[in-house]
Every structure is written in structure tokens, then in C-alpha cells.
Amino acid sequence: MTDEIKVPKGLANVVVDRTSIATTGASGNLLYRGYRAVDLADRKSFEEVAYLIVYGNLPSGDELVAFRARLNENMKLDERTIKVMDILKEKDIMRNLRSIVSLIPYRNGDINETFIQMEAKLPLISAYSAHAAYGKPMKNMEGEFFAEKFFSMIADPHKKKYWKSLEKLMILYMEHEFNASTFALRVAASTLTDPVSAVTAALATLKGPLHGGANSEVLSYLSGIRDEKDAAKFVEDKLSKKEKIMGFGHRVYKKKDPRAQYVKEELRRIAPDDPKFRAAEYVENYMFEKKGIPANVDLFAAVLMDFLGIDEVFNLPVFACSRIFGWNAHYSEQVSDNKLIRPAAEYSGPEERDL
Ligand code: SDX
């Protein structure tokens, strides 16, 4: 075909569609519907930002009350779901999320109603699957707010006074334009498949270590780093083996990930002497000064969740329980002005030949 356009591998820097939900590119700030995400993390609740992402504006008082109520009334698991998790005892919680989300019924034609079912239940599915797989006691869901309830099920109750730090992190994880899992969701949505199937595609994509899966590997290397010397040795060792260091680098942020910087300052405020926080700073300084590769959100997110007593099996589920609101907005945006996403390919196989 003559009208084919060749683009860089991985679609790097290729604009494939328009979106009004968020942008990472403008002023180096991540904007959610025009507001800086870091300002929203500072001053708004998780539910207010989720409403903004899904509906396009911050909610009025009444809209917020109604939205919170819809989430709360759906934050429960039915017997069938619990039975399936008790049978599966799946230790990989992301696999479990992908399997169990598929059980959520799709109410034909009502996108937001189906998404609210998934949004409300994902934190419970995460918490309960750890209980079913690892035998951990199922902590009671307590509190009034979405992030507070999630905190009560997965974090250290003695750190309860820091639950808003988890809320801020979840606000910053909520949406990120055409990242891999969101784009996978949009490809699925472009076929007009149902929202539950599209979210399953997104969860499967988020699981990859080059995308969401990074944050659970960060802690393992930080625990072995006590000073700059250790940091330098660790980095040089990894790079000499051509291995990627989790929590660093980004397709869009080449200088700094504003989310990483925000979470770093939140850690400096609540846990300045945490050894893993100091280790993360040592590695961050070396990676940027010597290699020009910035930390991404996952580096300090892993340290924060560790400080809050959140087991690392929940690191990626926390990301998913937040990003589903971004996926909600992208699913609606895709189907509202849809064209099937089906790129071309340059053929490099054998010439045509007779059998
Ligand atoms: C997230 O896209 C999003 O928005 C994602 C995300 C979101 O909110 O949805 O922001 C969340 O996924 C954050 C990223 C989490 N992933 C990791 O931390 C995994 C480690 N990071 C790398 O795999 C990498 O940085 C990527 C995949 C994130 C980005 O890779 P790119 O844009 O394809 O860049 P690249 O791999 O071509 O790297 C450019 C150069 C390479 O060197 P050369 O081969 O050209 O010599 O930088 C090097 C890379 O080797 N490099 C790294 C590195 N990241 C880049 N080297 C070591 N460790 C790293 N982490």
C-alpha cells in the first residue's frame, strides 16, 4: 500500500490519537484534565480526583457524596467470588485480579456502572486473594474514604496516621495518558468489546516488569545499599550486565518524573531516616548524575508502601486499584469516537512461493 507511514519501534514519540484526559508532555508536569496532578494530590481526596478523571470536572458537594456512596455500596464481594478465590489460592495477586475481575458481570450498555463495580471491588479482591493464598488474616475494612478503607485492609494498623500518604500515591498512579496498559485497553475497546474484557487486557499488560511490574523488584535491591559506594557498585554491576534497573527510566520523562519527586518529598516528610529511603536517594543520585537516567514513580512508591507496612505482593495491585479509574475514562473516550486500532506491518518473511 502506498499510503503506509513508517514509525519508530515501540511507537516511541508517535502521536496515535487525541485525548482530553491527561498529558505528561506539556510543561513537564503531569496534568489531569488540566490540573497539575501534584496539586490534586496535595489538596483533593482520591474520590474527587477519580470523579475528575472519569467525568471531566471536579465534583460538586452532592456529586461527591453520590459518587462516594456508589463506591461504598459496591465495596463487597459475593459468595461466588470468595469461593473461587478460596479454591484458586493464587499467590500471584495480579493473576488473581485478572481472573477474578472477569467474573464481574457486564451490564450491557452501562459503561460507568460496570466500571464502578470493578473500581469498588478491586481493592477487596486484592486483599482477599492474599488472605486466600497466604493465609494472612483478613483485616476488617475500616474508615470512611476509599484510600482509608484500602489502607485498613493491606497496611500496618500502627501506621494508620499515614493513610493519606497512600491516598496521595494512588492519586499520582491514577492516570498517565497512553502508557502501555491504557493503550492495550484502548486497542481492546476499539473492537467494541465489553469493559470487563478491556480491563482484563489492561491488567495483563500492567503486570509486565517494564511497566507496572517494576515496583515490586525495587525493594529487593535497596535493602543491600547502605551508602553511595554500595549504590555505585550496584548500578555499575547491573549496567555492565546490560540489565535494567527497576524504578528508573521512562519513555516520556527524560529529566524527571514529577510523581517520583512528589513521593520522595512525602517520604522525606514522614520517614526521613528510613534506610530504604536513603538507599533510594543514593541510587537516584548516582543514576542521574552518572547515567542521566531519572527515577520513575515506582522507585519511591515501593519505599513508601514498604514504610506503610504494605507487603510487596500488594505493590502492583495498589497501582491497578488506582489506574482503573484512568482506564474507565479511556474506555469511554475510545468508544465515543472510535476507529478500530489495527496498524500495518512491514513484511520480512519469505517471498510468495508454491506449496
Ligand atoms: C511505569 O509509560 C508510562 O507512562 C508508564 C508509567 C505509568 O504511569 O503508566 O509511568 C509507569 O511503567 C514506569 C516505568 C516502570 N518500569 C521500570 O522501572 C523498568 C525499568 N525501566 C526501563 O525498562 C525503561 O526505562 C522503560 C521501559 C521504562 C522505558 O524504556 P524506553 O523508553 O524504551 O527507553 P530505552 O529502554 O530505549 O532506554 C534508553 C536507554 C537505553 O540505553 P541504550 O540501550 O540506548 O544504550 O536508557 C537505558 C537503556 O538501556 N535505560 C536503562 C533503564 N532505562 C533506560 N538502563 C538501565 N536501567 C534502566 N531502568
pLDDT tens digits, 175-230? 999 999 999 999 999 999 999 999 999 999 999 999 987 776 899 999 999 999 99
Residues with CB under 6 Å of ligand 1 are 10, 176, 179, 210-212, 214, 244-251, 293, 296-298
| pLDDT band, very low/low/confident/very high, at 108 (cuts 50, 70, 90) | confident
Helix H or strand E segment including 259: helix 258-270
Report angle CA 94, 19, 318 to the nearest 5 degrees. Answer: 20
Q: Grid coordinates standing for 321?
A: 486499584
Q: Where is average pLDDT lowest: 1-5, 62-66, 81-85, 233-237?
A: 1-5
Section 272-278 average pLDDT: 97
Helix H or strand E segment including 32: strand 31-32
CA 250 to ligand 1 centroid distance, Å: 4
158 an active-site residue? Answer: no
pLDDT for 34 equals 96
Query: In the chain, what percentage of residues exceed pLDDT 70?
Result: 99
Query: In the chain, what percentage of residues exceed pLDDT 90?
Result: 92
Q: What share of the chain is helix, strand, coil (3-state, %, to 5)?
A: 60, 0, 35
- Whether the CB-CB separation of 114 and 195 falls below 8 Å is answered with yes
pLDDT for 214 equals 72
> Residue 70: inside a domain, yes or no?
no
| Four-CA torsion 300, 303, 304, 310, nearest 10 degrees | 140
> Residue 156: inside a domain, yes or no?
no
> Residue 275: inside a domain, yes or no?
yes
Q: Where is average pLDDT lowest: 2-11, 58-67, 281-290, 331-340?
A: 2-11
Q: Grid coordinates standing for 320?
A: 491497578
Residue with cell 469511554: 332
Give the list of residues 6+ apart from residue 243 with CB closer than 8 angstroms, or none. Answer: none
- Whether the CB-CB separation of 42 and 31 falls below 8 Å is answered with no
pLDDT for 107 equals 75
> Residue 261: inside a domain, yes or no?
yes
257 an active-site residue? Answer: no
Best mutation site among 210, 236, 239, 287 for ligand 1, i.e. most ligand atoms within 8 A of its Cβ?
210
Instruction: Please give the Cα distance from 49 to 133 (Å, whole number).
Output: 32
pTM, to two decimals: 0.96
Domain that holds residue 255: 215-307
Greater confidence (137 vs 299) lies with 299
Give the list of residues 6+ apart from residue 129 with CB closer than 8 angstroms, or none. Answer: 85, 88, 90, 93, 96, 97, 100
> Residue 267: inside a domain, yes or no?
yes
> Residue 95: inside a domain, yes or no?
no
> Residue 161: inside a domain, yes or no?
no
Closest among 301, 324, 29, 317 to 165, alpha carbons compared: 301
- Whether the CB-CB separation of 79 and 168 falls below 8 Å is answered with no
Q: Is the pLDDT of residue 1 over 60?
A: no
CA 108 to ligand 1 centroid distance, Å: 38
The torsion angles phi and psi of 344, rounded to 5 degrees, stand at: -90, 175
Look at ligand 1, atom 39, and give the residue with the nearest C-alpha. 249
Query: What pLDDT, in 10s, does the model give residues 34-62?
Result: 999 999 999 999 999 999 999 999 999 99
131 an active-site residue? Answer: no
> Residue 162: inside a domain, yes or no?
no
Q: What is the CATH number of the domain that holds 233?
A: 1.10.230.10
Section 306-332 average pLDDT: 97
- Whether the CB-CB separation of 231 and 203 falls below 8 Å is answered with no
- Which entry of 156, 211, 274, 311 is annotated as an active-site residue? 211
pLDDT for 137 equals 85
- Which entry of 176, 194, 257, 298 is annotated as an active-site residue? 298
| pLDDT band, very low/low/confident/very high, at 109 (cuts 50, 70, 90) | confident
Best mutation site among 174, 296, 300, 319 for ligand 1, i.e. most ligand atoms within 8 A of its Cβ?
296
Section 116-140 average pLDDT: 95
CA 288 to ligand 1 centroid distance, Å: 13
| pLDDT band, very low/low/confident/very high, at 2 (cuts 50, 70, 90) | low
CA 254 to ligand 1 centroid distance, Å: 10
Please give the distance of CA 19 from its chain centroid, rounded to a whole number. Answer: 19
Number of domains composing the chain: 1
Section 80-97 average pLDDT: 95
- Whether the CB-CB separation of 94 and 203 falls below 8 Å is answered with yes
Q: Which atom of ligand 1 is nearest to the CA of 180?
A: 2
Averaged confidence pLDDT in the chain: 95
pLDDT for 43 equals 98
| pLDDT band, very low/low/confident/very high, at 243 (cuts 50, 70, 90) | very high
